[in-house]
Amino acid sequence: MTQLPIVAAPRARVQAMKEYHPPLGSRDALRLDFNENTLECSPKVREALKQISAGSLTRYPEREPVEAIVAAHLSLKPEQVALTNGVDEAIHVLFEAFLDAGDELLLPVPTYTMYEVYASATDARVLTVQAGDDLEFPFERLLAAITPQTKVIAIANPNSPSGSAATRAQLLELAQRAPHAVLLVDEAYYHFHGETVMDLVGTVPNLIVARTFSKAYGLAGLRLGLLAGTQELMRWIRRVLSPYSVNSIALACLPSALKDTAYLDWYVSEVLAARTDFEAALDVARVRRWPSRANFILVDIGAKHAEFVRLMRASGVLVRDRSSDPGCDGRVRITIGTREQMKHAAVALNTTLAALRVGGDAQ
């Protein structure tokens, strides 16, 4: 008689997966490590939070009315929009719906880590295209990497950790050259970039756009994201998506977040002004940086990157070591907050560089 295993084993794919542990511990400092809003959400959202009754929490969340509001805000039809538990769930669901054995996920790298994490739970192959030293969007090489097996192309636009962006014409051509694939354009940092392909949803048949409320809106803790695409594509997405994955507190807050455009405009303009100031501080310190279209800047610290991150933390500023990202050895990503916060960050930067002597000649 064959011996039964003592505990059930997960799928081989899952056994091969790595656990992903973002460094979220002890963050009571200036949070320039996760590209969040570094302040707080809109006061209108705080008001909405106060209106939530204990009784309302006894009900399952109803997402459709809020999806209709979001769709109207984006000038889309409700059938073209699905709310998700952050863009992370959106990526997970999209890959579950489309990536099968024999399929390929095409990614420019470095890019957002979770694409590879969620793809590794599927039977598809991940094909990466390394950006050059300038970290610009590797458009021509991505086009050349399209195969009949390409099923999903995932483009963070702007990209993280580089901050570089693809143009609308490049994204359109990618979509046209891979009509058999879904082109995911992840516009998590859209508000800081100001350029979008959301208006092409519905006309470009294989385009899906993602947006998050975790960044400019300052709602990372609520977990709110969305996918927008043709009705046909979204129908498949909805088969995989849990009808309850966006909770009722998030749903209650979302309309107020959308309505308060004054808050959003203020926060974005504050960050853009702070980015310019901080770029100047980096240039004075002779730290190599990459041009950014988002609320963060990638900088080259060199061999002492880990010590740099540690010393910045000791000065009360959290930054993110991206050294293990492909082609990013020695590089650190610094989120941009308000002008006042970035003044403090610039002081910490200079103190840290002086301590490490990595400014100027070490670059």
Q: Give every CB contact of residue 116 below 8 A, 6+ residues apart in sequence.
A: 107, 126
Min dist. Cβ of residue 208 to ligand PMP (A): 13
Give the nearer residue to ligand PMP in terms of CB position, either 332 or 358. Answer: 332
Cα separation, 341 vs 309, in Å, equals: 17
Q: Which tokens go with 137?
A: 């969007």
Per-residue binding letters, 115-154, with ligand PMP (x by CB under 6 A): ----------------------------------------
Measure Cα distances from 7 to 4, 11, 12, 16, 336 in Å: 9, 13, 14, 17, 47
- Is residue 79 within 8 Å of 295, Cβ to Cβ? no
Kind plus residue range of the DSSP H or E element containing 114 = helix 114-119
Which residues ranging from 184 to 213 are in contact with ligand PMP (CB under 6 A)?
186, 188, 212
CA dihedral 207, 208, 213, 215 (to 10 degrees): -60
Question: Cα angle at 187 between 163 and 290, to 5 degrees?
Answer: 5
Give the nearer residue to ligand PMP in terms of CB position, either 292 or 352. Answer: 292
Min dist. Cβ of residue 161 to ligand PMP (A): 8
Decide if residue 285 touches ligand PMP (CB under 6 A): no
Give the nearer residue to ligand PMP in terms of CB position, either 110 or 302. Answer: 110
Give the nearer residue to ligand PMP in terms of CB position, either 93 or 353. Answer: 93
Give yes or no for a cis peptide into 148 (omega within 30° of 0). no
Decide if residue 225 touches ligand PMP (CB under 6 A): yes
Radius of gyration of the chain from its Cα atoms, rounded to whole angstroms: 21
Among 150, 214, 295, 352, which residue sits at the site for ligand PMP (rule: CB under 6 A)? 214
Which residues ranging from 68 to 97 are in contact with ligand PMP (CB under 6 A)?
86-88
Please report, as ranges, the residues that interact with ligand PMP according to CB under 6 A.
Answer: 35, 86-88, 112, 156, 160, 186, 188, 212, 214, 220, 225
